[in-house]
Amino acid sequence: MGADESYYIVAEIQIELQEFRAVSEARRMDLIYAYFRSFLEGRSNVRLLYSHLRVLEFLHHCRMEGKNLNETATELTQKGGPASYEELELLLSLLCQLKAYESALVVAVRLLSITVAEIRHSSEAKKSPAVALAVSRISDVLVEMGEVDAALEKKGEALDIMKNACDTGLHEDVLKILNGVGVCMALGRRHRQALGTFKREAEDRRNLLGPLDASVAAVLCQSAQMCLELRRYREALNDYHEALEIRRESLGTESLVTAETLNDMGLTLSLLGRFHEAFMRHEEAARIFDAEFGVRHASSICARTAMARALQNQGQVAEALRECEAVLELGKTTESTDPAELPELLAITKGHSAELLAMHEQQEQKELAKTRYEEAISELRSICASGKTEPPPSPGKSKDNAPDSLASGFGLRLYTTESRGILSTGLGLGYGVGSEAALMENLDGLASVYQYDLEMYEAAMALHQEVCDLRKRKFGAQHPDVAQTLTNMANLYQLMEQESDALPLYREALAIYEATLEPGDPLQGITSYNLAILLHDSLDQPEEGRQLAEKAYEIFLKAGGAEHPYSEMLRETLSAWEESA
């Protein structure tokens, strides 16, 4: 990239993303000159350049007048403001980048009106690709505003118009809008519907573009993510495997999206108990990310923390801790190539290192785990308070990877306490990481240290209650993450030998899982097992306990196979009960 081109790109970024902070008149003219230089060197056409400058001049005027972006919507088509279709399109893009969604919605509706007005007969509007795209654009803005149901309705309307315009469903423009329908369904937690939509789109893309087209792989990854939400892990792994083969063939073995797929495959393999294979995938992804970004980039750190998790799940706690400590040491000594995401990722890694320290027998290590958790929680509380609670980008995500995938990063940690055989999920189950989700996970982790290592039961219960309140506020009372916290609270009551208090919490958690998850979900198995132990060993109800344990065994056998650690544990438990009967 030459110096002139670099200057132009920097100028464009500065003027579009400055969030209307005032700049000097001289500096503004420098930036505008950069646009003209771009035009003279052949990088812009004159119509686009003129439109862009008109938009920038209008926004500068609004800024100088001290007007709020959302107060300028009524002026957008008045004298002095952008009025042409091209200008409005550019303005819409800028408003969305600056998160001025109310104004953006007004512009999007105006663009639809202009499009329809240019068509002589209203009946023709129902078969116009331009109208379909304009309606789809409104849907996109509604998504950004959090109006998912309204966005889905508009996206469906756009899909019908585009199908009529193309006279077929097997057209790339139709498939782009169909993908948007699937994304809206996923954002609205309609995971089964979203999965069906992505499966259909993937098949249509194979037929239209060929089985090795990169967009087929992107949609397969979206399908896999829906399978993960539905806990259909084997199906997710199959989708990721096909996507990986396509990306290796079409994009190369060293591409970032190939590394991203390797990371996602590793997470899915861990959910199936195939931890060594998971480690190998994460290690390969980390190598690609390191070569592209350096070891201190968000993508590299994500892959390395996933490696640590896979090592931990294989019982290699010391090796996992060394991996975490290496990441934390890099945070102290190296300039970040990805500073915006680094504090959050390091806080998450610090929490993971605390979890690993808590596994040591020495009391000194457990105290250090407590301190690490407290530091991670303090850092994450600060990040949440600053409003930066969005999940960091998934490893290696590329804007050129169309259609865009949903954020990945799904993970589930399971562990067993030696004294009572209680299973706990420990970590939240949502997609992405994000500061708020990571905060809840680390509160869970600190509660675990209090609960199992330091016998600080009152402090542990207070943290569980805080997490329960946070999750109810975020997700509603009938959500799997809430059930997870109820399970953790029941675990604690069981440790405190308050079995009568534990029983209703286990039953409530199991009822939530059965109402919200697919039949046979592993989380149903975990809670069924915990409830079985309580009923059989503590409440003198061996028959119901045995039935629940058998149910849990069937779930783990189907989800992870006979070799899965929980399948083996359930076999041993049922065998021991049978011998003692």
The reply to whether 71 falls in a domain is yes
What is d(CA 351, CA 370) in angstroms, rounded to the nearest whole number? 10
Tally of domains within the chain: 2
Strand partners, 415: 424
The reply to whether 12 falls in a domain is yes
Chosen domain end from 95, 118, 141: 118
What is d(CA 350, CA 344) in angstroms, rounded to the nearest whole number? 10
The reply to whether 472 falls in a domain is yes
What is d(CA 543, CA 548) in angstroms, rounded to the nearest whole number? 9
CB 161, CB 181: distance < 8 Å:
no
pLDDT of residue 205: 93
Domain that holds residue 62: 1-118
Chosen domain end from 97, 118, 139: 118
pLDDT of residue 86: 64
DSSP 8-class letter at 415: E
What is d(CA 552, CA 529) in angstroms, rounded to the nearest whole number? 6
The reply to whether 31 falls in a domain is yes
Helices and strands (H, E) in the chain, number of each type: 25, 2
The reply to whether 486 falls in a domain is yes
The angle at the Cα of 501, spanning 500 to 507, to the nearest 5 degrees, equals 90
pLDDT of residue 487: 92
SS3 for 220? helix
The reply to whether 238 falls in a domain is no
The reply to whether 565 falls in a domain is yes
Chosen domain end from 88, 118, 148: 118
Indicate which CATH number applies to the domain containing 493: 1.25.40.10
Mean pLDDT, each 10-residue run in order, the chain (581 residues): 40 41 47 48 49 56 55 47 61 67 76 71 65 87 87 91 82 91 91 94 94 93 91 92 94 91 93 91 93 81 87 88 85 58 79 85 88 90 71 36 29 31 36 70 91 91 94 89 92 91 95 88 89 90 92 87 85 89 71
Q: Which of 185, 184, 181 is nearest to 156 (CA)?
A: 181
pLDDT of residue 387: 62
What is d(CA 502, CA 11) in angstroms, rounded to the nearest whole number? 61
The reply to whether 351 falls in a domain is no
